[in-house]
A and B are shown apart, each in its own frame.
Chain A
Amino acid sequence: MDPNQDLGVDAGDQIHHPVFERCFREHYADVLAFALRRIAGRQTAEDIAAETFAVAWRRRDRIPDPPLPWMYGIAVKVIANQRRSLRRRGALEERLASEAEVAGPQSDLDEALHQRTTFATAFRHLSDSEREVLSLVVWEGLEPREAAVALDCSYAAFRVRFHRARRKLEKQLAAAGHLLPDSCRTAAPEPAEEAG
């Protein structure tokens, strides 16, 4: 039997779609972590994960292999909608999820908190899309090729965006006195995009 065949849900509430089920069991935690890094609150993050897999369920006969970049691509859009909705209600309570966390037991608490607060401030100066470009690679651990899939852009375009975002982050960190001078670079126009 074709594992991609639409098997749906039967009246007994049992989920019978091996591809979707495997995708869910293997990647629910990844998608939840993805949401937690971007949205405050476990409950909201669980809602985001549920919405993301709901979309995946509706497209269960088209789940690609590997599914994770595709799942992240859906989650990016679900979160964007969530943010728009929250902004409309004037109740955006969003932060860098790690900002409020305390350091690990081996760290100097004050220094660690300072570094993370500085980083969070610099990171917040990036646009949503710049944060996403960096996050997909650095936090989600996607290969740049996979991240390009998640963002529905070409590999070359992704690389341009990644380096632009990284440069901007470096400038922000340098401005906060939190990056050694020899790591600082100035942003410049990227001809690849212009050529494209």
Chain B
Amino acid sequence: MTARTTDKDAIAQMRDANRISAEELRADISAEELQRAMEVATALGESTQPAPGGATPARRGLRARRRPLTALAGFSAASVAAAVMLLSGSPGGGGEPAFAAAAIRVAEANPRLLVTEPGWSVIDAGEFEPNEGGIIFSDGEHELSVQWSPARLYEHYLRDRADVSTPETSRLLGRTATTVHYGGADYATMLSPTPTGSVFLEVRGGIAGTKGGLESRTEYETLLHSLNPVDVDTWLEAMPPNVVRPQDRGAAVERLLRGVPLPPGFDAAVLQGEGLVSDQYQLATTIGNAVACGWVESWLAATRSGDAAGAQEAIDAMVSSRDWQLMKTLGGYPTNISFVARELEHGHLNQGIAMKVVNEDRTGYQLGPAWATALDCKSDIWRRPLEAR
């Protein structure tokens, strides 16, 4: 068959290729079928793990099933967590809002731009460090993100984005603004760092053609030009409320660590540090990973020295992670902690490569070991150039 071109972009073609409609399925499934499917799922869940409180599983009329496929043999890439965050509330319920010193450090290092279009606000600030992070603005329908990165990477970004489209250069807020076009209404603009600034900014509309995507360049430009710098307090006050406030952080750490066995030499006080301000999810991730890193390191040391009891203690501690309070804060995901625990339990800790990053010219690097990358154990992660192929 002869190849033909189409004026539809890749995303539109992909959307067209979808012939499965959840709505049609929903309409086709009768109430009885749905009820039956629910009974099957719950019975299946009960059959592999006793329900808390000894609830009796429903088994009536269910066909025989093999064991569910819940064991995960590996994990793909590191969850690049390491997020740190912000905001305090009003101390004692009165006076001016006070912000955590860590948050103020982020704000002071940042150009602190806010979208000033009516109806727009910050909806997410999941990554938040002085030199790296980002916030997402939304009006409920569309999104615009502002990411900041170390100023030393600015030229690197410019070179990379030059490959996206022909860059358009202008001036914005006293900075060089370089805009590239990803297709559709998907634009990104890099704002150069100031001579003394430690970060540069990348402004980006929501991914065109997806939820949150912008609809036109005009809309993007309107939002881009509505960005205005504000003072530290105004900027921090604009951040979303779902963050750990400094006066609550100690209690949050204490609560999350409840029932968690700590590895030998683990200093829990580090988790209380000023640099570790986070929303609940990120705080739980950070704490869980820190504890898990310690246990895996402990297991490795014990294994090397032939300390069987020490190695078993580490395995037991990791296996107990499924009951840690902080895992509930993580929303019930089978987290990387769970995967590594399972590997230790089954005697095959993945110490190989976690991921490869391959450039167009076939250069690149690889990261490992897999367990350390998954748990974000920074001191254990190695990075090596790709072997010549």
Partner-B contacts on A (CB < 8 A): 6, 8-11, 13-15, 20-21, 24-25, 28-30, 32-33, 36-37, 46, 49-59, 61-64, 70, 73-74, 77-78, 80-82, 84-85, 96-98, 101, 111, 114-120, 123, 129, 134, 137-139, 141-145, 152-157, 159, 162-163, 166, 169-170, 173, 176-180, 183, 185-196
Interface of chain B residues 14 through 41 with chain A (CB within 8 A): 14-23, 25-26, 29, 34, 37-41
B23 vs chain A, min Cβ distance (A): 8
Given contacts A33-B20, A143-B212, A153-B80, contact A119 B14 (CB under 8 A): yes
Across chains A and B, which 6 residue pairs bring their CB atoms closest together, nearest first? A8-B55, A177-B3, A62-B332, A57-B45, A59-B332, A53-B41
Q: Does B196 sit at the interface, judged by CB under 8 A?
A: no
Q: Is B359 a contact of A177 with CB atoms below 8 Å?
A: no
- Docked Cα-Cα span, A21 to B34, in Å, equals 11
Chain B residues contacting A25 (CB-CB under 8 Å) are: 34, 38
Q: Is A57 a contact of B72 with CB atoms below 8 Å?
A: no
Given contacts A54-B68, A173-B13, contact A139 B335 (CB under 8 A): no
Interface of chain B residues 279 through 323 with chain A (CB within 8 A): none
A53 vs chain B, min Cβ distance (A): 4
Given contacts A137-B207, A152-B335, A186-B163, contact A169 B14 (CB under 8 A): yes
Given contacts A62-B328, A138-B15, A188-B360, contact A195 B153 (CB under 8 A): yes
Q: Is B206 a contact of A57 with CB atoms below 8 Å?
A: no
Of all chain A residues, the one with the shortest Cβ separation from B44 is A54
Q: Which of B89-97, B142-150, B239-247, B264-272 contacts A (4 or more CB under 8 A)?
A: B142-150
Q: Could you list 30 examples of A-B contacts with CB < 8 Å? A: A8-B53, A25-B34, A33-B21, A36-B25, A53-B41, A54-B45, A57-B41, A61-B328, A61-B332, A64-B332, A70-B333, A73-B333, A96-B17, A97-B20, A98-B18, A101-B19, A129-B76, A138-B210, A139-B14, A139-B18, A141-B211, A143-B210, A152-B333, A153-B79, A154-B80, A155-B127, A163-B182, A170-B9, A183-B183, A188-B163
Of all chain A residues, the one with the shortest Cβ separation from B69 is A81
Given contacts A70-B332, A145-B212, contact A116 B16 (CB under 8 A): yes
A193 vs chain B, min Cβ distance (A): 6
- Docked Cα-Cα span, A15 to B42, in Å, equals 8
Q: How many A-B residue pairs have CB under 8 A?
A: 271
Chain B residues contacting A195 (CB-CB under 8 Å) are: 132, 149-150, 153
Given contacts A70-B332, A145-B124, A185-B164, contact A53 B38 (CB under 8 A): yes
Of all chain B residues, the one with the shortest Cβ separation from A57 is B45
Chain A residues contacting B163 (CB-CB under 8 Å) are: 185-186, 188
Known interface pairs A152-B333, A177-B4; 6 further A-B residue pairs with C-beta atoms within 8 A, sorted by A's residue number: A14-B58, A77-B72, A81-B73, A120-B17, A143-B211, A154-B83
Q: Is B18 a contact of A58 with CB atoms below 8 Å?
A: no
Chain A residues contacting B9 (CB-CB under 8 Å) are: 170, 179, 183
- Docked Cα-Cα span, A22 to B168, in Å, equals 50
Mark interface residues in B123-149 (1 if CB within 8 Å of A CB, else 0). 010110000101010000001010101
- Docked Cα-Cα span, A43 to B17, in Å, equals 22
Given contacts A54-B45, A119-B13, A123-B17, contact A9 B56 (CB under 8 A): yes
- Docked Cα-Cα span, A8 to B44, in Å, equals 13
B207 CB contact (under 8 Å) in A49, A116, A144, A157: A144
Q: Is A188 a contact of B3 with CB atoms below 8 Å?
A: no
Interface of chain B residues 346 through 370 with chain A (CB within 8 A): 357, 359-360, 364
Q: Does B51 sit at the interface, judged by CB under 8 A?
A: yes
Of all chain B residues, the one with the shortest Cβ separation from A37 is B20
Given contacts A28-B38, A81-B69, A141-B211, contact A183 B20 (CB under 8 A): no
A50 vs chain B, min Cβ distance (A): 5
Q: Does B331 sit at the interface, judged by CB under 8 A?
A: yes
- Docked Cα-Cα span, A70 to B16, in Å, equals 26
